[in-house]
Chain A
Amino acid sequence: MQRYLATRLLALIPVLLGILAVVFLLIRLIPGDAVQLFLGTQVEMTPEQMAELRRFFGVDKPIWAQFVDYLGRILRGDFGVSLRTSRPVLPDIMARLPLSFQLAMFALAIALAIAVPLGILSAVTRNSTFDVLTRIGGLLGLSMPNFWLGAMLILVFSRYLHVSLGQYVPLSQNPLGTLESLYLPAISLGVAIAAILMRYIRSSLLEVLGQDFVRTARGKGLRASVVMLRHALPNAMIPVITVVGFQMGYLLGGTVVIEEIFALPGMGRLVLQAIFQRDYPVVQGVVLTIALLFVVTNLVVDLLYAWIDPRIRYG
């Protein structure tokens, strides 16, 4: 396991460098240089003053040297300063990170809570009316925009069920309040993942149920429930774990859209506001943070997979 962990961590380095390079270069795509962006269009300056400022910001150096500077700053936890509020970017992101992360995890939990039982029942009752209806439901869940589902939930809950949609409550204050403020957004975000997972669980379980060892288990007279719980299910769930890993990107990226429709003060709203205010250090910081979060959660899922299935770590 240690060896597997070491190789996985080493393999991470080029990906991390690549992510940083993309985030760094993203800003260079904008017409005009950093100094002009910083000053906006109102301020008139002499070329000498501009050159002075360029030296101050370090943007007079060649691009690779600027990238090295950037790497150094990120390693020291310096994500730059907001062009609008002049506050350091990182603390603002950190203040909003818990909400987005909790939302993504809550959505995953809801997706699993829907997908596991339905996927199993669907596989066990293959081609029954239940199976067909579940699969149609899954396709519909996969086909609707998550933010539209969110809008529809808001509509139904506030207009017809008269449930008030409360403000976000931090987890440290009141965990139940957090759940209450996030369950609708989490459902909106989780439904598509539930549909994908359900499908994988169904086909994975069907495949396992068709294998020889299951036939043997049945043949030696084990009860159907024992065959299912002890032999079939654990084996069927293993590949599903990797699929969960793939979906972390959807969950983390999706929070941006979902936070917007539910007016939640997470990283998503921060980045959208920054985009419209042309506050590029904030945009860079949030994009980097979410990408890093994606890489880390993916790594955790992969390690979990290797821990559960020895074939992976010795493969």
Chain B
Amino acid sequence: MPGSIHASDMDKAPAAAGPRLGTGWRWWTRRFLRNRVAPIGFVIIFASVGIAATAPAIVPHDVRVMTPADALSPPGGRYLFGTDEFGRDVFSRVLMGSRVSLVVAFLSVLTAVAMGTSVGLAAGYYGGWWDSVSMRVMDIVFAFPAILLAIAIMAVLGTSLFNLVVAIGIVYTPQFARVARAAALSVRSLEFIDAARALGMGNARIVGRHVIPNVMAPMIVQISLSLSLAILSESALSFLGLGTRPPTPSWGNMLSDGRQLLELAPWNAVFPGLAIMIVVLGFNLLGDGLRDLLDPRLR
């Protein structure tokens, strides 16, 4: 059935028809734009990634240059968001800080997707002992509060960008394993899988050609929502001093410094937090919108 249907017929198809990917870009773009929240989220994310990518070229001040004479200047004038206790420009640091936050978020979610999806697909598709063992392990990871587990991992591994990615990646792995497993289970017993096997396709090919495309819809939603959580986790860890180290500005360690200046120069704490909020909001809007688009059951 898939493939033989025209895009125009799909519009009229009942919602229960479920998620279908690859029915043509034009059709998807149209649906995406008609959604009320997804495009807003997409614009926010697109803009943030753009800022992060070009930050070194567009920042008005060097983030490392200290201008003691201008220390703790309030927002406005030469310094849009004011300055910190060393006279460094908060606006430039917020722009540069987006790099660490976004890189850590993307890499850690990528780690979680890679680990979670392979574990979950294998568990759901093959079943058997691997299913029970791997899912029990995932349950155990899930039995720890996410931020606590990340804190514990950072405590033993030590602070570095790589460890941060590993810690956050591990914490968000079980979600992906569960989503992938559920999706693999639901397609495993469908007739087209039997048909593929009857045609002589191997397991790897069946998973690649038939199972993975069916996992995509819930996966994309989960990725978007996990990115929002990963940004929040990174900021919390850096705030606690367990994330990236100064002088590399990240929103989390800017908040950690800014908190010491809360009475004296509140702008040091206000702006990095607003930046986190906007980006996280972007991922949440995108995730919510995509969920409505891809998975009508969950509305």
On whether the beta carbons of B144 and A291 are closer than 8 Å, the reply is yes
On whether the beta carbons of A140 and B277 are closer than 8 Å, the reply is yes
A142 at the interface (CB under 8 A from B): yes
On whether the beta carbons of A140 and B281 are closer than 8 Å, the reply is yes
Bound state CA distance, A272 and B242, in angstroms?
9
Bound state CA distance, A287 and B151, in angstroms?
9
Within 8 A of B (CB), among A134-155: 139-140, 142-148, 151-152, 154-155
Stretch at the interface among A87-95, A109-117, A248-256: A248-256
B136 at the interface (CB under 8 A from A): yes
A64 at the interface (CB under 8 A from B): no
On whether the beta carbons of A253 and B284 are closer than 8 Å, the reply is no
List residues of chain B with CB within 8 A of the CB of A203: 299
List residues of chain A with CB within 8 A of the CB of B228: 143
On whether the beta carbons of B273 and A148 are closer than 8 Å, the reply is yes
List residues of chain A with CB within 8 A of the CB of B146: 249-250, 253
On whether the beta carbons of B262 and A139 are closer than 8 Å, the reply is no
On whether the beta carbons of B262 and A155 are closer than 8 Å, the reply is yes
List residues of chain A with CB within 8 A of the CB of B239: 145, 147, 257, 260
With A147-B236, A256-B151: A155-B266 Cβ-Cβ less than 8 Å? yes
Q: Per-residue CB proximity of B129-145 to A under 8 Å, as 1/0? A: 00000001101110111
On whether the beta carbons of A151 and B143 are closer than 8 Å, the reply is no
Q: Which residues of A contact B (CB under 8 A)?
A: 14-15, 18-19, 21-22, 26-27, 29-30, 139-140, 142-148, 151-152, 154-155, 158-159, 203, 249-250, 252-254, 256-257, 260-261, 271-272, 275-276, 280, 283, 287, 290-291, 294-295
B157 at the interface (CB under 8 A from A): yes
Bound state CA distance, A139 and B299, in angstroms?
15
On whether the beta carbons of B145 and A249 are closer than 8 Å, the reply is yes
Given A18-B139, A143-B281, A147-B236, 19 further pairs, Cβ under 8 A: A14-B136, A26-B156, A140-B277, A145-B232, A145-B277, A147-B239, A152-B269, A159-B266, A250-B147, A253-B149, A254-B145, A256-B240, A257-B239, A276-B241, A283-B152, A287-B149, A290-B148, A294-B143, A295-B143
Bound state CA distance, A257 and B148, in angstroms?
10
B145 to chain A, nearest CB (A): 3
A140 to chain B, nearest CB (A): 7
Bound state CA distance, A145 and B235, in angstroms?
8
Residue of B nearest to A25 (CB): B156
Bound state CA distance, A85 and B105, in angstroms?
37
Bound state CA distance, A146 and B263, in angstroms?
19
On whether the beta carbons of B155 and A151 are closer than 8 Å, the reply is no
Give 27 pairs: A residue, B residue, CB < 8 Å, sorted on A.
A15-B143, A18-B140, A19-B140, A21-B140, A139-B285, A142-B284, A143-B281, A145-B235, A148-B269, A148-B272, A151-B255, A151-B259, A152-B270, A155-B266, A249-B144, A249-B146, A249-B148, A250-B145, A250-B147, A252-B145, A253-B149, A256-B147, A261-B259, A271-B151, A283-B155, A287-B144, A291-B144
